[in-house]
Amino acid sequence: MSLDAALGIAGSGLLAVQRALAQASANIGNANTAGYTAKTVPLQARESLGQPAGVLSGQAQRAVDLAVVAQIGTSTAEQAAATLRERLLQGVEAAHGSVSGADSSSTLADDIAGLRGAFIALRASPDDAGAQRTVLQAANTVAQRFNGIGVAVASARQQAQDAMAQQVAAANAALQQIGGLNRQIQLATTQGQTTADLEDQRDQAVQTLSASIPVQVLRQPDGGMLVLSKGGAMLPTNTGQNALSLADATVAPGAWYGAGGTLPGIMLGGVDVTAQLGGGALGAAQALRDITLPRTQAEADTAAATLSYRFDQQGLTLFTTASGAVPDMAQPYTSGGQLGFATTMQVNPAFTTNPRLLRDGTHSVAIASGGVTNFTPNPLGGPAAFSTLADNVVNFTFGSQAANGLNWAPIPGGGLGPDGTLNSPFNPPSSVQDYAATATAVIGNERAAASTARQQAAGLLSTLQQRFATQSGVSVDAEMTTMIQLQQAYGANAKVITTVQQMWDVLLSAVR
């Protein structure tokens, strides 16, 4: 081997070591940078005419398990969805009252039971003004509980709509970032430059997008990336404008999404793609806005309307709307005055000025088709110990029968929601108290399920991130070991160059 060849080989070795040292330094400097992966400089021996010709160093590369990256995206979406669902259901659960463990408190069913207990006391002393006031207070407690549930559901539903808008904005920002990085990666690829750092940034943008919308990606030979929703919608990344849009909306109790509804869907190029974007925080918010919360509202409305209706059917108009109306349970949810009743329910103002109506009754009732017990109010100056109304209320309003041998019509479990398409996830019990208890338990279970799902997703995500860090992250110890080896290699190559230089000096001296 000639001295020139030896010098060239050693020189290429020095350049390769310098690049590898620079990359190791960059790895250590970015060890705590989110999403950064360890890079290596590939080395390849060169030959010329079958003889060694030095070392060729390539562009920095990263070693990433794309399957793990995809799993991290899925877990990110699941965690974001469960977190949002848990947060919005917590307020609704609190409004119902908790029945679990250390968080247990008075519930809607407890308040209804308290009202029944007040009527039992009134039955024993019909003319007792204190007993009448106790009934009135218990009735106000029930009405206020229903009002609180209605307000909590309405607030959560508006928060779900607002969360949808926030997630659409976040998704658009991530898609634009992915698009910009796609262009940089494609350009670098055509110019033969490294794209490893840009790919790290793009993977981070995909993870950000996954929190809003679960996606799958298709990596292209030119370095680009196609992004599809789990439902198959192609999400454009090649435009500087927002890809997705969602109109602003104020969510009223009677508003719904779908045919004939007034709530907006998520649009992509003028097409409603809401159904194709399920999952993630966006999908969770949409399901809450359009299914879970309207159903919960309908169950509260149904319980409130049933209680008001059954009191009225016994001859006591105790609960009404602000206009004095009583919902008609013989009519559908959307047309019988039930929709939104929990929010507007109030104790009939007539009882404030004349609490004796709680003893005497407000109107006559006669048995008719589907009707209830015959009842005639206690006339002015009638018996002070009049207990007929209290008997009927205690025996029938809170039970499963409207009169002896006559069952109440079943509490509806279907035809709910502002468009009448939702169904309760349980078979409605026949008594209002049991129905209320069941509805409270359901919302508590749904919140608990969301909490469990969040914890499980967070645990899995942490495990996947640790696995990713082990496989692709920076190990400072390993990088320091590599740097020591590279320094030794640098010294060896430098010594070769020094030796060759000395040999040249000896040769030149001989010539002189």
Identify the domain containing residue 42 by its residue range.
3-63+475-511
Q: What is the pLDDT of residue 2?
A: 60
Give yes or no: residues 88 and 22 share one domain. Answer: no
Residue 466 lies in a domain: no
Residue 317 lies in a domain: yes
Q: Please state whether 375 falls in left (phi above 0), alpha (psi between -120 and 50) or beta.
A: beta
Give yes or no: residues 334 and 410 share one domain. Answer: yes
**β-bridge mates for residue 54, sequence order:** 46
The b-or-e profile of 252-279 (16+ CB within 10 A means b, else e) is ebebbbeeeeebbbbbbeeeebbebbbb
Using CA atoms, how far apart are residues 156 and 163, in angstroms rounded to an integer?
Answer: 10
Strands 346-347 and 401-403: unpaired
Give yes or no: residues 31 and 112 share one domain. Answer: no
Query: How many separate domains does the chain show?
Result: 2
Taking the model in full, what pTM does it have?
0.88
Give yes or no: residues 272 and 124 share one domain. Answer: yes
Give yes or no: residues 136 and 229 share one domain. Answer: yes
Give yes or no: residues 13 and 124 share one domain. Answer: no
Q: What is the mean pLDDT of each successive set of 10 residues along the chain, which is 512 residues long?
A: 59 68 78 82 66 67 88 95 97 87 76 97 96 97 97 98 97 95 94 91 95 94 92 85 91 95 94 93 97 98 98 96 94 95 97 95 78 81 94 94 89 96 96 97 96 97 92 78 72 68 69 65
Last residue within a domain, chosen from 417, 434, 459 = 459
Tokens 């010709």, located at residue: 53
Give yes or no: residues 57 and 195 share one domain. Answer: no
Residue 237 lies in a domain: yes
Residue 464 lies in a domain: no
Q: What is the pLDDT of residue 373?
A: 63
Using CA atoms, how far apart are residues 395 and 465, in angstroms rounded to an integer?
Answer: 61
Give yes or no: residues 57 and 112 share one domain. Answer: no
Give yes or no: residues 149 and 286 share one domain. Answer: yes
Give yes or no: residues 388 and 506 share one domain. Answer: no
Residue 206 has a CB neighbour count (10 Å cut-off) of: 24
Using CA atoms, how far apart are residues 263 and 359, in angstroms rounded to an integer?
Answer: 46
Backbone Cα Rg of the chain: 37
Residue 77 lies in a domain: yes
Residue 467 lies in a domain: no
**β-bridge mates for residue 39, sequence order:** 62
Q: Please state whether 59 falls in left (phi above 0), alpha (psi between -120 and 50) or beta.
A: beta
- 461, 76 contact by CB (below 8 A): yes
Last residue within a domain, chosen from 434, 459, 484 = 459
Q: Which of 353, 365, 443 is nearest to 397 (CA)?
A: 365
**Sheet bearing 244-245, strands edge to edge:** 244-245, 267-268, 271-272
- 143, 114 contact by CB (below 8 A): no
Residue 276 lies in a domain: yes
Give yes or no: residues 432 and 345 share one domain. Answer: yes
Give yes or no: residues 364 and 383 share one domain. Answer: yes
Local structure of residue 232 (DSSP, 8 states): S
- As to burial, measured by CB atoms within 10 angstroms (0-12 exposed, 13-18 middle, 19+ buried), residue 49 is exposed
Residue 469 lies in a domain: no
Q: To which H or E segment does residue 258 belong?
A: none
Q: Please state whether 416 falls in left (phi above 0), alpha (psi between -120 and 50) or beta.
A: beta
